[in-house]
Amino acid sequence: MKKSRTFEVVFVNKKTADTKSILYTLSDNEVAAKWIKCMKHLRNIEPYSMDSNLVQPRNIRKVYKEFCQAAKIKPITFSKIDQNLLNRFHEQYMDYNMRLAVNEDRHLLYEFHQAIHHAESEMGSDDFYRYTQMHQISYSYKAAAFQEEFPCNRYYSSSLKKDNLYLLHSDSGKKPYNYYYDGEPPEFEKVKKTMVSHRTFIPNWFVCLQDRDPGQLPSKFYDFFEPFKAWFLKTYNLDKWDHVDENSAVLLATPSTDQDVADLLLHQGYEYSHIKLN
């Protein structure tokens, strides 16, 4: 019998300097195997604060102005911020993602992306649409060397469980229900540009902070998706797209101790520090 691989995730309380080491068992799937190999190089890398939600983005109006200056584009003129405007902002983010990600202005790119999502959450979006609570660990551009095209959705879990580690969806486009929910147009050219699956393996990850069974998607979404379904599944090498593909994630590891990790992170002031490989 193949022996399960274990490793430790270390959490630190920065006020007291106390640390907690939690033993985890690696999940037996191809994605988890890729991830743990990446951790040999990333295990002591400090998470990128903006993409890991350790700091909040500045006001989106200010960030957008600086983003346009960095991208050398004319800003969109607007008076109010609504979902339609945020969709246009997101399209600009995708248009200039590759160019700005490799220069000194990349911090503005990442902050702009987070500011868009922060503005969406402030608009009181349906909780069903949003990610489960998570303690995100993103390495941002430092993970670029390890990313590869890979159909991660094929390995999605049927549900998310508290304290488990999961792969973070880090693609820059929108999953199909996300695309529909945001009121994006049913235009094939826009769909091809923006609608994506979890198509890229990037070794960012998260600690799940609450149990969650992915909710069923409404029938109106499937009606919207039907004209693009065959193209989408063929393009991303998938057999289906449903509530699990939209709202779950790939299981990376499960805790091997009784410590309530979510409580450490939510109520006791701890945060991720580093990984110790056995």
The 10s digit of each residue's pLDDT in 23-32 is 999 999 999 9
Residue 91 lies in a domain: no
Query: Which 3 state secondary structure label does DSSP give 42?
Result: helix
How many domains, in total, are found in the chain? 1
Query: 33-53 burial, b if ≥16 CB within 10 A, otherwise e?
Result: ebbbebbeebbeeebbebbbb
Residue 248 lies in a domain: yes
pLDDT in tens, 169-201: 988 899 999 999 999 999 999 999 999 999 999
Residue 247 lies in a domain: yes
Residue 155 lies in a domain: yes
Residue 29 lies in a domain: yes
Task: Tell me what pLDDT residue 110 has.
Answer: 83
Predicted confidence band at 55 (pLDDT cuts at 50, 70, 90)? confident
Query: Which pTM value belongs to this model?
Result: 0.88
Higher pLDDT, 23 or 127: 23
Helix (H) or strand (E) holding 37: helix 30-42
Task: Tell me what pLDDT residue 126 has.
Answer: 52
Higher pLDDT, 9 or 50: 9
